[in-house]
Amino acid sequence: MTRSVFVINAGSSSLKYQLVDVDSGASLASGLIERIGETTGEARHEAPGIERVTERRVITDHEHAFGWVLQQLDRHGPDLDDANLIGIGHRVVQGGARFDRAVAIDDDVAQQIGDLAPLAPLHNPANLQGIRSARATFPGHPHVAVFDTAFHLTIPPAAHRYAIDASVAAEHRIRKYGFHGTSHQYVSRRMAELLGRPLEEVNTIVLHLGNGASATAVRGGRSVETSMGMTPLAGLVMGTRSGDIDPGVIFHLHREAGMSIDAIDTLLNKRSGLLGLTGTGDMRDVRQAADAGIPRAVEALEIVAHRLRGTVGAYLAHLGRTDAIAFTAGIGENSAPMRADALAGLEGLGIVLDPERNAGSGERRISADGSAIEVWVVPTNEELEIARQVAELVDSSGAE
Ligand code: AMP
């Protein structure tokens, strides 16, 4: 019998959802509602066998958005009882040092998610809003929070602590948390399956390269190092985020250029990365410009690849023995040239790509037969990972 989980990703003015068949992994329905609370809302719903529904309309708040979703399910199916809905999974960005796994949401957990807002001011309050509205909409089902940070709580102190005044760090909960945890967990599990070996024995470097990008070193199914930090600004070069910079740059911009802290925050989070370097944050456009010989696009790609290569090198050292490197997310799954650039020159470290396999598509090995470390493309599926974690929790606790 089908068992399904309703997976929710709530932003401050958006709601993304997918009804997932936990056992087959199939999407039974999905959609996105944007510009909630504004005068120009847009709602989209799709399900297998129906024409995509798109409506431009005012959606006043998240509860209203859920009402719209229920209406679509009523009209177009599937019926939630027929789909045997066993729970609701909420993506929550920041779980702090407290949540090392998915957890059933009660009032106390909801409060703790709210208490973590200072560490993720843009995300946790929005996630909580989604949780409150969903609990009102689906009162009879278990609600489960799945944290972006949870997978990384196994990172040892030597890797997650920053070398700053220990009492300041403790008071303000400053440490590396890491993000994209559900994706890194899904891909590293899948990687072990693809290698046909027990998860506990497999060491993988996962490169999640999307608009946001992060790398994780996974030893035997446990995250031991990751490139994002206390916030998702650290690490690799991203679509609009700078990734790692010398923190001294911030003081310099404040003191010498007279920029406010908010302006620097916007600069580093929203106007840097590919966008800052080239004028577009979309990798496809940057690649096209580079192919046309535009120097700043060529240089931007070199900067992205340089940072990736350095990160891979560091993680090879942290893992000691690496079985596989897995590329995932929009760029990781689709950009053969970026994969090739990132690993160029690493043949001496046992990493050899096969250009033909690299140019293909779908889940596959892209390393050459003789490569000591296998390289794969593994499409991520965060919704399925969340759905599975909800199902595991519901099965084990009988959460109601
Ligand atoms: P995501 O955040 O995972 O949706 O990834 C978004 C990023 O993937 C954007 O920078 C896209 O330009 C990039 N992307 C998607 N498809 C391709 C492609 N075929 N080639 C290069 N980059 C791509």
Q: Are 57 and 205 in the same domain?
A: no
Q: Are 262 and 353 in the same domain?
A: yes
Q: Are 323 and 227 in the same domain?
A: yes
Domain membership of residue 129 (yes or no) is yes
Domain membership of residue 164 (yes or no) is no
Q: Are 140 and 203 in the same domain?
A: no
CA of 75 to the centre of ligand 1 (A): 33
Q: Are 376 and 234 in the same domain?
A: yes
| Parent domain of 259 | 198-382
Per-residue pLDDT, 399: 47
Q: Are 357 and 210 in the same domain?
A: yes
**284 CB less than 6 Å from ligand 1?**
yes
Q: Are 125 and 223 in the same domain?
A: no
**285 CB less than 6 Å from ligand 1?**
no
Catalytic positions are: 148
Task: Find out whether 35 is annotated in a ligand binding site.
Answer: no
Per-residue pLDDT, 398: 59
78 preceded by a cis bond (ω within 30 of 0): yes
Per-residue pLDDT, 220: 98
In this structure, what CATH number is given to the domain that contains residue 60?
3.30.420.40
Could you tell me the pTM of the whole model? 0.96
CA of 333 to the centre of ligand 1 (A): 8
CA of 336 to the centre of ligand 1 (A): 11
Q: Are 310 and 232 in the same domain?
A: yes
Residue ending a domain, among 132, 147, 162, is 147
Cα separation of 113 and 108, whole Å? 9
**31 CB less than 6 Å from ligand 1?**
no
Domain membership of residue 193 (yes or no) is no
Task: Write down the H helix ranges in the chain.
Answer: 62-76, 107-115, 124-137, 157-160, 166-171, 181-195, 248-255, 261-270, 273-278, 283-291, 295-319, 329-334, 336-343, 355-358, 382-397
Tracing tokens 């690493």 back to the chain, one arrives at 346
CA of 326 to the centre of ligand 1 (A): 16
Q: Are 117 and 212 in the same domain?
A: no
Domain membership of residue 188 (yes or no) is no
Domain membership of residue 183 (yes or no) is no
Residue ending a domain, among 147, 165, 180, is 147
Q: How many domains does the chain have?
A: 2
Nearest-CA residue for ligand 1 atom 8 is 330
Q: Are 290 and 209 in the same domain?
A: yes
Q: Are 211 and 308 in the same domain?
A: yes
Written as one string, the DSSP assignment of 118-178 is GGSTTTHHHHHHHHHHHHHHSTTS-EEEEESSGGGGGS-HHHH--SS-HHHHHHTT-S---
Q: Are 263 and 121 in the same domain?
A: no
Task: Find out whether 16 is annotated in a ligand binding site.
Answer: yes
Ligand 1 atom with the shortest distance to the CA of 239? 10
Ligand 1 atom with the shortest distance to the CA of 329? 3
Domain membership of residue 192 (yes or no) is no
- Please list the residues that pair with 85 across neighbouring strands: 4
Task: Find out whether 201 is annotated in a ligand binding site.
Answer: no
Domain membership of residue 112 (yes or no) is yes
Ligand 1 atom with the shortest distance to the CA of 338? 21
Cα separation of 336 and 1, whole Å? 40
pLDDT digits (tens), the chain, 400 positions = 789 999 999 999 999 999 999 999 999 999 999 999 998 899 999 999 999 999 999 999 999 999 999 999 999 989 988 999 999 999 999 999 999 999 999 999 999 999 999 999 889 999 999 999 999 999 999 999 999 999 999 999 999 999 999 999 999 999 999 999 999 999 999 999 999 999 999 999 999 999 999 999 999 999 999 999 999 999 999 999 999 999 999 999 999 999 999 999 999 999 999 999 999 999 999 999 999 999 999 999 999 999 999 999 999 999 999 999 999 999 999 999 999 999 999 999 999 999 999 999 999 999 999 999 999 999 999 999 999 999 999 999 854 4
Domain membership of residue 391 (yes or no) is no
